Amino acid sequence: DQQYIPTDYVTRAANGELYAIGGENYAGLDIGREHDLTALVVVNWDGAIARVVAIRTAKRTDHDALLALAGHAVGNYRVRRLCVDQTGIGAFPVEEMQRAWGRQRVEGVTFGLGSKEEMATTLHGAFAGEWLRIPREDSELVDVDEGNARGLINDVCSLRRIVTSAGNIRYDAARGADGHADRAWALALALHAITNKPATRNVRFGGSERDVEPWQT
């Protein structure tokens, strides 16, 4: 009863339409704690459809492996933005990534009630609005660790919308041997990278001013 994203929505998004021409790449990196997975999801966004193009995971990710996953997204996919879970142990790695690749490319996201609700709502909207495509099987992706296509589907279906006794709403999933919906949160972070762009600001060019995106400076 608490399943947040209906299975029908997920099945509809896993329709094999992953081939993309053009567009830009965005990524989300969810950092695992204790027995959870660390998950990287890269999506291609052509202005209308977001397509998952890579899913990489690691167990008990050490410092070097974590930076390697981020470097894979930046170096191999030239991502325009990489949103990284900076909750708890993620704070220091995010600082390192920002020093390496810039604050406009790497954004730290702290998981709290408000941010998780925003990301979960965007994820739900992507499935409901049919502007997201995900793989059905590993064979549909060139860059995927074994079992992660089905793992992503299971993670998305495991997300729950829970109303607490105090009337608060939280979004969570049962923790199991295969993680804690980590691939779903990595996907949500990637969509956050697309939809929650930094505000424009005025920058002076040769005596004139115009609004630009921060990553253009």
pLDDT in tens, 155-172: 999 999 887 777 777 777
- In this prediction, residue 183 carries a pLDDT of 95
Assess whether pLDDT exceeds 80 at residue 89.
Answer: no
- In this prediction, residue 197 carries a pLDDT of 65
Which one has a higher pLDDT value, 164 or 196? Answer: 196
Per DSSP, 66 falls in state H
Query: CB-based contacts of 217: which residues, under 8 Å, 6+ apart?
Result: 104, 203
The mean-pLDDT minimum among 2-16, 76-90, 165-179, 182-196 falls in 165-179
Query: Which has the closest alpha carbon to 171: 153, 193, 156?
Result: 156
- In this prediction, residue 217 has a pLDDT band, given cuts at 50, 70 and 90, of very low
- In this prediction, residue 212 carries a pLDDT of 38
- In this prediction, residue 202 carries a pLDDT of 35
Q: What is the mean pLDDT of residues 10-30?
A: 93
